[in-house]
Amino acid sequence: MILAFRKFMQPPPPSQIPKMNLKLEQSFLSLILTVLMLIRIPSYSSQNDSQYQTCSQPFQCGSLREIGYPFWGGNRPVSCGYPGFQINCQSNIPLLNISSTFYRVLNVDKTTRTLRIAREDLWDTICPTLFFNTTLNFSLFDFSSAANDQNITLYYGCGTNQLPPGTPVPFQFSCNVNGVNTLNFYTTAEASGQGNGVTCSSNIYVPVNRRAARDLTNLETASANLLPDALRSGFTIQWSANNDNCNGCARSGGLCGYNEGTTAFACYCTDRVHEFTCDDSRPGNGSRKVLSDLQMYVIIGVSLGIAGLVISSIIIFYIRKQFKLQEADQKSKQNIDKFLLSHGSLAPKRYNYREIKKITNSFAEKLGKGGYGIVYKGKLPNGQLVAVKVLTETDNNTEEFINEVASISRTSHVNIVNLLGFCYDRKKRVLVYEYMPNKSLDKFICKSGSIDPGCQLDWETLYGIAVGIARGLEYLHRGCNTRIVHFDIKPQNILLDEEFCPKISDFGLAKLFKKKQSIISMLGARGTVGYIAPEVFSRNFGAVSHKSDVYSYGMMLLEMAGARNFDKIEAIQSSEDYFPDKIYEHVALKNEKLDDLMTEEQEETARKMLLVGLWCIQTAPSDRPAMTKVVEMLEGSLESIKIPPKPFLSSPKLSGPQFSSSVSVDVDIEI
């Protein structure tokens, strides 16, 4: 039994998959056709009922088409509609009488059971002969709350005797009654306070479209000329005429109507008149009822069968996925064991997750959060402070985790962060680094206009950090046994110890290759917008190589020096122009001081960092210096640095938010 189940769970050979898919599609299509045929089996019935034929003819008048129940009139008798819903078609104008008032029908929405109507006595004139409010028969109609219409009040025959002289009356309109022009005005609910103190002989309430009401009282659009259009825009009402019964009748294939003899709802079907639906159990309808039950049983059975197949498929998919996850987990464990065996005593210490929780005091103090995990502060049993990086739990970051452990384990340099240990416990992946009390470099890069004294570094310290990072990258590219390209150099990945000595960290995206290797497959390379070299996005700019790190370093160097609050660069950063372009114009093309408050030595340091940064961000990788040359330029004199060409294409602006971007490419690594 178990062996048979395991055999069933194994994936089929590739050659059988198309045949299996074809058989499955044919079976499913046959099942659907069978269900449709059963549903569409014709019912046993007598010849078509005359009422059904009569009520099949829709009411038409003017722009209204295909109007059915509950409306009647013209060629539709009252039995096809409902009392109180007669539409009189006069000169192609549909009129509906509600509570002895005629309304012009502008639109009928059968889906929402709503009407848009307008008062006929106010259609051609705003000065009616009779003054009465807009009322409805609330047993059949009600105002639509969804339409959000608004009442306007029309005041007629008004006097201003009680108003102070010169007081204006707002929103006036003219009416000629018996040859006499009277004072009239209107207000809305939103302008209800207007006209206080004015006495009038008559007033009426009329609902109108909310937008039209707003236009009437808007100081920019208010005009008596808009009043007729507002009244003609109408308002929306809902109807109620045995709505639930009609729904059931329509679903069964019948037409809704009204029994004049019993004053009850009627459902007209092709065989005869039914009380509610065409498939009710009435005398003479037994054969149809039996057939309907059969259809229902078939539909229920087929539905249960399909549901069973779906549930079974989900269970099988889940079990097979678990098998694959276990296989991948076992493979990852083998890779970890192989890594530990190959490094011997030089491998970092491996912790279990329980030890990690103890080191971090159950993750009590968070130092920061990045795109790939959260960093916590911890303490080893010997009292040494550490930074514990807990990677985000996913099913596909095992290779990235092993890559970072392997990368840092192969390095030993004062400007490379020291990996003290790691934890791999199923989906729990943790890295333990030496603790950097000054955290990361981005905390000390002041943005334009910043007044925070904590982010200020003197030029000597800033220069030392730049040189240290350059030496660390030079070591990664040339100095260690296995060459490493970092691919994610940015201020957030530069840590600073208590003496502001920089240390490159976060090797999750790094690529390792042998010294003689010139081609490397880089699938899923990622970086941060603003620091990614152009060739990473397009091979048209050249091959991806260690020069990609040089580009990222150059952008970071420009940010370090350009973010200082001296006047020229501050003006550059606050503009919409591209940051490096403006730096090039001010530093390389103009011989003027960057800041009048800077000493000569500080001016030289700043210019040196900016010029080196411009060299590093050259568009073509071949035009960028190697990190060895970068260190040489930084440690040399300003006069020895030539003016670089102006870069014609680079990454997006640095001053905005930074996001991780994924790029999948196969690239050549030039050494």
User: Do 356 and 420 contact (CB within 8 A), yes or no?
Assistant: no
Q: Is residue 28 over pLDDT 80?
A: no
User: Considering only CA atoms, which of 466, 489, 470, 487 is closest in space to residue 478?
Assistant: 470
Altogether, the residues listed in the chain come to a count of: 671
Environment class of 525 (CB within 10 Å of its CB; exposed 0-12, middle 13-18, buried 19+): buried
Out of 63-72, 437-446, 576-585, which region has the weakest mean confidence (pLDDT)? 576-585
Q: What is the pTM of this model?
A: 0.50
| DSSP line for 471-519 | HHHHIIIIISSSEEE-S--SGGGEEE-TT--EEE---TT-EEE-TT--E
CA distances from 651 to 529, 579, 581, 647 (A): 7, 10, 12, 11
The pLDDT assigned to 25 comes to 46
Average pLDDT over residues 144-168: 79
Residues of the chain with CATH 1.10.510.10: 441-668
The position carrying tokens 């968070």 is 366
Average pLDDT over residues 277-282: 69
Q: How confident is the model at residue 24 (pLDDT cuts 50, 70, 90)?
A: very low
Q: How confident is the model at residue 416 (pLDDT cuts 50, 70, 90)?
A: very high
Residue 383 backbone zone (phi > 0: left; psi -120 to 50: alpha; other: beta)? left
Out of 83-92, 396-405, 481-490, which region has the weakest mean confidence (pLDDT)? 396-405
Cα–Cα distance measured from residue 397 to residue 375, given in angstroms and rounded to the nearest whole number = 17
The pLDDT assigned to 208 comes to 92
Q: Is residue 332 over pLDDT 70?
A: no
User: Do 624 and 613 contact (CB within 8 A), yes or no?
Assistant: no
What average pLDDT is seen over the chain? 78
Report pLDDT digits (tens) over 442-454. 888 876 555 565 5
The pLDDT assigned to 283 comes to 36
Is residue 488 part of the annotated active site? The answer reads: yes
Sorted by sequence, the CB contacts under 8 Å of residue 223 that are 6+ apart come out as none
Residues of the chain with CATH 3.30.200.20: 349-434
Q: Is residue 16 over pLDDT 80?
A: no
Q: Which CATH class is domain 441-668?
A: mainly alpha
User: Considering only CA atoms, which of 393, 395, 377, 372 is closest in space to residue 434?
Assistant: 377
Strands 114-119 and 264-268: unpaired
Average pLDDT over residues 316-329: 81
The pLDDT assigned to 569 comes to 45
Cα–Cα distance measured from residue 385 to residue 437, given in angstroms and rounded to the nearest whole number = 9
Q: How confident is the model at residue 509 (pLDDT cuts 50, 70, 90)?
A: confident
Among candidate residues 488, 497, 506, 668, the one labeled active-site is: 488
Report pLDDT digits (tens) over 334-370. 666 666 666 555 667 889 999 999 999 999 999 888 7
Report pLDDT digits (tens) over 251-276. 888 999 998 888 889 999 988 888 88
Q: Is residue 383 over pLDDT 90?
A: yes
Q: What percent of the chain has pLDDT over 70?
A: 72
Cα–Cα distance measured from residue 502 to residue 468, given in angstroms and rounded to the nearest whole number = 6
Cα–Cα distance measured from residue 574 to residue 450, given in angstroms and rounded to the nearest whole number = 12
Q: Is residue 568 over pLDDT 60?
A: no
The pLDDT assigned to 299 comes to 86
CATH of domain 349-434: 3.30.200.20
For residue 389, say whether it is annotated as part of any ligand binding site.
yes
Strand locations in 99-212 (E): 101-109, 114-119, 141-143, 150-159, 172-177, 180-188, 199-208
How many CA atoms lie within 13 Å of 199's alpha carbon, on the beta-carbon side?
5
Alpha-helical runs (H) found in 91-242 = 210-217, 226-233
The pLDDT assigned to 97 comes to 93
The pLDDT assigned to 46 comes to 40
For the sheet with 366-369, list strands across it: 349-351, 419-425, 428-434, 385-391, 373-379, 366-369
Cα–Cα distance measured from residue 157 to residue 173, given in angstroms and rounded to the nearest whole number = 11
Q: Is residue 582 over pLDDT 70?
A: yes
